[in-house]
Structures are given as structure tokens and as C-alpha cells.
Chain A
Amino acid sequence: MTDSPGLHRLVLTTHITTSVGWLGAVLAYLALDIIATVGQDVANVRAAYFGMQVLILYIIVPLAIASVLIGIVNALSSPWGLFQHYWIVVKVLLTLFAITILFLEVRSVGHVAEIAASGADPRELPGSLPHSIGGMIVLFVTTALSVYKPRGVTRYGSRKQQERRLARMHSNPSSRVP
């Protein structure tokens, strides 16, 4: 846990920026995916696959990795912790699921873009709309969880809270309930 509120705010700001940036990049990817899946113009569909490959490799993957790593640092450096509240646990699980699908998708998109660039008719290639839409929904849910922070403390979180209460009572005996 960091002792510097300034540093913690910097970590929090970076976490929000990378997480929301990840969602924004997925929305841009979804737009290209729609063109790749339903487009009829060969040049546009080929360009869409190329754009999807660039976006996923150089924007989405780096943002996703940064978001996860900085998110873990942010949680551990705040009073919320990483496993003390259900909303954070759910968010971590959803993010890990999303990043697993993302890494599988990187390989698929790389191969499809390669085939599209090779001269074959790209309109016959499968898009990745279910993954794009699913990813967008998962990231929207994680964003909503971060904003609403629904109540619920895990057993571990409850134990940590009791420890903190006891520590406060020992450091400030006047705060004890009569």
C-alpha cells in the first residue's frame, strides 16, 4: 500500500485512462468488424481487416495488459484491496476472461488479415462480431461495477475490516463504544 495520496491518484488516473481507452478501442474495432462482416466492397473489407489487426495488436492488447496490471496495483494500494469486495473480485474475473478471449482473438485476426491481404476475396472470411460485441459488453459491465461499486464484503475483506477496527481502537482508546 502506498503512503502517497498523490501517487495513488496517479495510479488511479492511469487505471481509468487505460480501462476506458480499452473500451473505446474495442468500440472502434467493432465498427471495423461490422464492415468486415457485412461489407460488400472488397477494398473496404480488406482495409477493415487490416485496421482490425493494427488496432488489436498495437492498441487493444497494450491497453488491456496495462489496464490489468495497473488495476491490480491500484486495488492493492487503496483501502478497497483486491479480494475484499465482491465487486472487485467479479471485475477481476471478468477482466481475466476478457483478456483470455482477446489473446485467442489476436491469433485469429492475424491469420484472417493475412488471408485478406493475400488477394483472396475477403468477403468470404468470417468476421469476429460475437467476440467484439461480447468484449464490449464485458468491458461496459466492468466499467459500471467500478462506478456503482455494489455492496458486499468477502470473508477475507470482513476479517481485514475487523483488523483495521481493532488497530484503530488500540491506537485511539477513546473511540471505544461504552
Chain B
Amino acid sequence: MSAERRSSTAPTLAWHANRSVDESPPGVPRWVKVFGVVAVIVVLLAIAAMIWVGGEHGPGRHMHGDHTAASAFAPFVDP
């Protein structure tokens, strides 16, 4: 389907199509780099917090005895 045909039937899609044609040349944009740096910092802080708090993290911390993962998906079924 051509961009021209889209633009004649859907203004929103025409805007999308026109804008995509006018995009800047390749190269990682600054906002992506900033976003990546922030994401790495957040992940490192989360790992540091887990180490600082200590103990088990994730689903395993609630699993003791004979609890199984499958039971979480059938919570309202009588044993």
C-alpha cells in the first residue's frame, strides 16, 4: 500500500507517513543515549539496593515447603 493511498483515506496515517519520510539521517539520537545511561544507572541502583537489603529476591523468596509455581495460576481451585 502506498503512502499516497494512505494519506487520501487517513489523515493520521498520512501524518505518520510524511513524518517518517522527513526523519533525520541514521545515527543514535542523543535522547536514546541519555535514556540508555539512565536505564543502566537505574538497574545498577536496583542491584545495589538488593545487595544492601540482602536476602533472597524474586519469586523464590516466597516459596517454601511444598508450594509450587503452578498453584499461583490456580488460586481459587479447592485442593
Contacts and interface: CB of A to CB of B under 8 A. Distances in A.
Contacts, number: 103
B73 A110 contact: yes
A83 interface: no
Interface residues of A, number: 43
Interface in B46-71: 46, 49, 58-59, 61-63, 67, 69, 71
Given A84-B20, A109-B72, A126-B61, A158 B26 contact: yes
A90 B23 contact: no
Main DSSP-derived SS at the A contact region: helix
Interface string B1-40: 1110010011001001101110111101101100100000
Give the bracket for the number of chain B residues in contact with chain A: 20 to 34
Contact of B17 (A3, A79, A111, A155): A79
A86 B21 contact: no
Given A84-B20, A110-B73, A152 B29 contact: yes
A155 B26 CA distance: 6
A153 B75 contact: no
Interface of A: 1-3, 5, 8-9, 53, 57, 78-80, 84-86, 90, 104-115, 126, 130, 149-155, 157-158, 161, 164-165, 168, 171
